[in-house]
Amino acid sequence: NAGVTQTPKFQVLKTGQSMTLQCAQDMNHEYMSWYRQDPGMGLRLIHYSVGAGITDQGEVPNGYNVSRSTTEDFPLRLLSAAPSQTSVYFCASLSGQGYEQYFGPGTRLTVT
Amino acid sequence: QQQVKQSPQSLIVQKGGISIINCAYENTAFDYFPWYQQFPGKGPALLIAIRPDVSEKKEGRFTISFNKSAKQFSLHIMDSQPGDSATYFCAAGYTGGFKTIFGAGTRLFVKA
């Protein structure tokens, strides 16, 4: 099993550009989440999904969109990037029967 | 609104010493308290977790102490090793785990 994979590892965007951060998991987990990690702020939940076709907002959803068309994939879209979105983004998945979240390796995004 | 407060922000410990990281939470509805370990360039990984019905859980050199009345819990790393140098996050969550709230993180450095 590859676990949770994320692409790209690094990305630089200009203000106003759009992009999609990809996340995939091969563990057949129902729950998937996106977090952003900023210095001194810990991990903050952006959006999450409890299954294909079902998504909801987390703590800091503004400026981000998500969709969940399959169990495996949970992409995060930035429609119009802003410097405040410079961060490291982590995708995570969780089995409905468990408590442990499995995190991907992260995407480091810089918006200039 | 910071629901999980973690201290200290950074910690330097001599090899063989005890590392102690503290966390406090506000919401008494939380029923799952994990600690995650993160090495540079990697995603967080579950280290150890506790439920509020026990006061202590030990796994090898890592121990969680839990004080339900004070709404506090802590991570103790006995015989700290340079390989333990990482960022540690405490968290609090609910059954299902996908809405876990993370603390701000503690950067631990163990001097050889």
Q: Which of 72-111 (B) contact A at CB < 8 A?
A: 89, 93, 95-105
Residue A75 has pLDDT above 80, yes or no: yes
| Cβ of residue A43 closer than 8 Å to a chain B Cβ | yes
Instruction: List pLDDT tens digits, range B27-42.
Output: 998 989 999 999 999 9
Chain B residue nearest residue A50, CA to CA: B98
For chain A, percent of residues with pLDDT exceeding 70: 97
In angstroms, the Cα distances linking A107 to A40, A88, B80 are: 18, 6, 30
Average pLDDT, chain A: 94
Residues of A in contact with B98 (CB under 8 A): 31-33, 48, 50, 94, 101
Please answer yes or no on whether B41 and A105 come within 8 Å at the CB atom. yes
Mean pLDDT, range A61-89, rounded to an integer: 97
Evaluate whether B91 touches A103 at the Cβ level (below 8 Å): no
Instruction: List pLDDT tens digits, range B13-27.
Output: 999 999 999 999 999
Please give the Cα distance from B24 to A76 (Å, whole number): 31
CA dihedral sign of residues B44, B48, B51, B55: negative
Cβ burial, residue B111 (10 Å; 0-12/13-18/19+): exposed
Cα B35 from chain centroid?
Answer: 4
Residue B2 has pLDDT above 60, yes or no: no
- Which of B59, B63, B60, B91 is CA-nearest to residue B76? B63
DSSP A13-67: E-TT--EEEEEEESS--SEEEEEEEETTTEEEEEEEEEETTEEEE-SS-TTEEE-
| Cβ of residue A96 closer than 8 Å to a chain B Cβ | yes
Q: Which of A4, A32, A99 to mutate to test the interface with B (most CBs of B within 10 A)?
A: A99
| Cβ of residue A51 closer than 8 Å to a chain B Cβ | no
Q: How many cross-chain Cβ pairs, A to B, lie less than 8 Å apart? A: 64
Residues of B in contact with A48 (CB under 8 A): 98-99
Residue B1 has pLDDT above 60, yes or no: no
Residue A103 has pLDDT above 70, yes or no: yes
Backbone φ and ψ for A28, nearest 5 degrees, come out as 60, 35
pLDDT of residue B96: 62
